[in-house]
Amino acid sequence: MMWPRVLLVGAVIIGAVASSGGPGVARPYPLDGYGYTGIRRLRGYRLMREGKIPGHLHLVDGSLLPSAAIRLRLAGINDTLDIGPDTPRDSALQAALERVVGARDPSYRVALLDITDPRHPRYAAIGETKGYIPGSVGKLLVMTGLFGQLRRLFPDDTAARAALLRNTLVTADRFAVPNSHAVPVVADDWSRVIHRRVREGDVFTLWEWVDHMASPSSNAAASMVWKETLLLQHFGRAFPADREAEDGFLATTPRRELSDESIQALETPLAEAGLDTVELRLRTYFTVGASRVVPGKSSYATPLELMRWMVKLEQGKLVDRWSSLEMKKLLYFTRRRYRYAASPALNEAAVYFKSGSLYRCRAEEGYSCGKYRGNALNLMHSVAIVESPAVPLPRVRQRVYLIALMSNVLRVNSAGEHLALATAIERLIRRLHS
């Protein structure tokens, strides 16, 4: 069934479900964020965690921070920090990083920034100015573009931005197909949460679409959010336009112009933050259905520019402070961790994470090619902000570091490789501060 596009003006959002565990029980974000965001999976997962509906939700200790504990680590403390090719390397950190990465495949490219002491950061890098196709890491740029358009629409009213995200219903259309990642879908009566692929006709709020893009990394959601970002740029205060106006805009605007406007919608807030949109660019939608409407161009990212994206986020300079904080919350996963973030060494750590992969296979005698084990192409990228441990302990200094890791190691399980690297890097940061 196709639903109309609509803005639920004045919609009532039910408050977050009270924890059944009594005083002192952690109320994890984003699970405690339902009352503010209206993202239904948050309430559904909390009901599941409390045993009120079927299903199992395993959360490691590091994923149990309340929303109030999530903060920007550089904002108001080190607002002038920037990273570039000439940024001095910390000798101890550089030597440790080279021991971990140097003996591995030469395709590894990494930038590592320790901001445990935010006024005196420590930097190390290997091959950080060389990049690859970003894959799903490019969804960070879609998120930035959306929040940039929201600020353009409501420059001094963050409540209005939140209301638009919470109350705008968006129906999955041709931009959402085909796709492979399952997303959480909550029953209308709150009796269950199922995980399945997005289908044409599915209706989610704009905030839910962003959550689907960030958490399970849905390509369908990414293309839908990018389309809505384009529509926000085009229609302005007339957003959300009705279906006829939207279809008319997409049908009558020349394809090359649609491509240019889509790119502009993402790159404007990046450029305003001082990021290099040549070294960090996303110019192709994530689904074939979207690319049939909006033709793509080449995409590219380097660990250096991804690191700069994270630094701007932690400074509150990615769009603005409200947007930076909301984007950081969206990267704090509240379900199964995977790839780099799945390292058991990070179980006690808060991890704000995005990963991307792209692999291709060719016939090769004696080799069985498969997922994340491509023999023609095997890209795997991880971007993470790690706060370890998530809750500071007595006499234990909380370690905070940012890492951008990209690789193209053929014929190996790259997901397992990144997990192993996450373990090694966590250990080297611990040793550095022991």
**Residues 112-137: pLDDT tens digits?**
999 999 999 999 999 999 999 999 99
| Architecture of the structural domain at 91-131+326-432 | 2-Layer Sandwich (3.30)
Cα separation of 324 and 318, whole Å?
Answer: 5
CB 332 within 8 A of CB 354: no
pLDDT, mean of residues 51-72: 90
Give the angle 318-223-238 at the CA atoms, nearest 5°.
75
pLDDT above 80: residue 238: yes
Q: What are phi and psi of 313, to 5 degrees?
A: -60, -50
Give 264's DSSP letter. H
d(CA 424, CA 429): 9
DSSP 350-411: EEEEEEEEEEE----TT----TT--SSEEEEEEEEEEEESSS-BTTBPPEEEEEEEEEE-TT
Q: Residue 300: how many CA atoms within 13 Å on its side-chain side?
A: 10
Please answer whether residues 340 and 382 qualify as being in contact, where contact means their C-beta atoms are separated by less than 8 angstroms: yes
The residue count of the chain comes to: 434
pLDDT at 13 over 90: no
Q: Could you give the 3-state DSSP secondary structure of residue 195?
A: strand
Could you tell me the residue ranges of all domains in the chain? 6-57+134-301, 91-131+326-432
pLDDT score of 406 more than 80: yes
pLDDT value of position 434: 84
pLDDT of residue 273: 98
Mean pLDDT on 237-241? 95
pTM greater than the 0.85 cutoff: yes
Output the six-digit token pair for 232.
């926000």
- pLDDT at position 208, please? 97
Q: Which of residues 26 and 34 earns the better pLDDT score?
A: 34
Kindly report the average pLDDT of the chain as a whole number: 91
Which amino acid is residue 373, in one-letter code? Answer: R
